[in-house]
């Protein structure tokens, strides 16, 4: 089966994403006004977004990664497991935390809380996608590339069961693809 035929609809082309990311990078660059910043990318979903975004930001950046998984406990609460923590010290630094998508808000909110305990000078959040309809906890990202509706998207780093991260565009998965994996 052709991998691409699992996609029902392409929402954002590589060119759309590239243009939007350039705009976002400009905004970030202006807001930080020459300050040093530590970029913290939440793995795995944000690795492509992060690597494209940072190349458009003309600031003295340091990059670190954190890898987390969340496990549902009952129907609503989620406990966050840190698979890989930071390898640098963020004390007294400006931190920009990057994730692929904010859905329920649990991941970004909890990672932000964990990092806040390390006393950064400031901490802001940036996501490629915001799915407002999925929110279960109060969490607003400071920088959002796109708001998306209530559907499951893949590509450009976003996965379904670890697949489709390597698609250069973002699209909606066919229902048949969801059931066959």
Q: Which residues form the interface with ligand IMP (CB under 6 A)?
A: 45, 70, 99-107, 131, 152-154, 158
Q: Which is nearer to ligand IMP, 32 or 53 (CB)?
A: 53
Residue 142 site contact among Mg ion, ligand IMP, none (CB < 5 to 8 Å, cut-off depends on kind) = none
3: DSSP letter: G
Residue 102 site contact among Mg ion, ligand IMP, none (CB < 5 to 8 Å, cut-off depends on kind) = ligand IMP
Q: Which is nearer to Mg ion, 45 or 120 (CB)?
A: 45
Q: Which is nearer to ligand IMP, 48 or 153 (CB)?
A: 153
133, HSE (Cβ side, Cα atoms, 13 Å): 6
> Is 103 among the catalytic positions?
yes
- Is-contact 109 135, C-beta < 8 A? no
Binding site for Mg ion (CB under 5 A): 45, 159
Sign of CA dihedral 113, 118, 123, 126: negative
- In the complex, least distance from residue 55 CB atom to Mg ion, rounded to whole angstroms: 23
- Omega before 70 within 30 of 0, i.e. cis: no
- In the complex, least distance from residue 113 CB atom to ligand IMP, rounded to whole angstroms: 13
**Other Cβ atoms closer than 10 A to 169:** 17
- How does strand 94-102 pair with strand 122-130? parallel
- In the complex, least distance from residue 139 CB atom to ligand IMP, rounded to whole angstroms: 8
Instruction: Report the candidate in 126, 141, 121 with the shortest Cα–Cα distance to residue 36.
Output: 121
Q: Which is nearer to ligand IMP, 96 or 102 (CB)?
A: 102
Catalytic residues: 103
């Amino acid at each position: 089966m052709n991998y691409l035929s699992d996609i029902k609809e392409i929402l954002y082309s590589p060119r759309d994403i590239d243009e939007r990311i350039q705009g976002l990078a400009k905004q970030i660059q202006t807001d930080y006004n020459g300050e040093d910043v530590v970029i913290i990318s939440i793995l795995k979903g944000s690795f492509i977004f992060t690597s494209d975004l940072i190349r458009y930001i003309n600031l003295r950046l340091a990059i670190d990664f954190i890898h987390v998984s969340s496990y549902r406990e009952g129907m609503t609460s989620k406990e966050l497991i840190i698979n890989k923590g930071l390898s640098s010290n963020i004390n007294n630094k400006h931190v920009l935390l990057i994730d692929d998508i904010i859905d329920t808000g649990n991941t970004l909110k909890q990672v932000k809380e964990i990092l806040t305990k390390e006393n950064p000078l400031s901490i802001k959040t940036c996501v490629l996608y915001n799915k407002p309809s999925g929110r279960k906890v109060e969490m607003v990202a400071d920088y959002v590339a796109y708001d998306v509706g209530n559907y499951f998207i893949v590509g450009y780093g976003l996965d379904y069961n670890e697949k489709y991260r390597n698609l250069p565009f973002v699209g909606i998965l066919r229902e048949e693809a969801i059931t066959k994996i």
